[in-house]
Structure 1
Amino acid sequence: MKVNLKKWGNSHGIRIPEVVINEMNLNENQRFNLTVEEDAIALKVEENQKNLLRQMFKNYDTNQKSEEFDWGEPQGKEVE
């Protein structure tokens, strides 16, 4: 797949085609580690963001039962 390097403000950028975005399940604010390897540029998805949602909920007990909570009487215009 061929892409072009373009001027982007004071830097330069390469657009990643949509098929690659979808195939790798990337999002708009995805972070990468960039390395230069001889005559190649390598982008690797930053590990700590790869499964961020899974990490946040890794200890979540899906069998928890929710209980009703009494917040007290209305204090403002909640009920009219």
Structure 2
Amino acid sequence: MLATISKWGNGHGIRLSRKLMAEAHLSAADQLDVVVNADKSILLRRVPKTKADRFLELFGSYQGDWKCSEAETGKDVGNEVLE
């Protein structure tokens, strides 16, 4: 795929096609790490979202009646025993 560098304000940008975005599983809010290699090639890598961001993305709209509670794991043994 060919792309053209365009001037945007004081910076520059490249437009990515919808097909390429879908193929790379990218969205407009994703951050990319840009690496320039010794041979002047450019590598773009998506920056992983934090665990908290990913959790909210998956469960942020949950409307159920879930309540936090302590789980019973049995009798204390070994180093877990607190005195």
Report the TM-score range of the alignment, normalised by the length of the smaller protein.
0.5 to 0.7
Match of 2:74 in 1: none
Give the corresponding residue for 1:28.
Answer: 28
The one-character-per-residue Cα deviations of 1:19-78 (angstroms, maximum 9, x if unpaired) are 11111221111101111013111110002x18752xx27xx9xxxxx47xxxxxxxxxxx
Q: Aligned-residue CA RMSD in angstroms? A: 2.6
Look up the SS of the partner of 1:29 in the other structure: coil
* Aligned partner of residue 22 in structure 2, secondary structure: helix
Percent pairwise identity: 25
- 2:46 aligns with 45
Normalised to the residue count of structure 1, the TM-score between the two structures is: 0.59
Give TM-score, length-normalised by structure 2.
0.57
Matched position secondary structure for 1:34: strand
Map of 2:3 onto structure 1: 3
Partners of 1:29 and 1:50 in 2: how far apart? 13
Gaps of 5+ in 2: 60-64, 67-83
| Gapped regions of structure 1 (runs ≥ 5) | 61-65, 68-80
In structure 2, what is the equivalent of residue 18 of structure 1?
A: 18
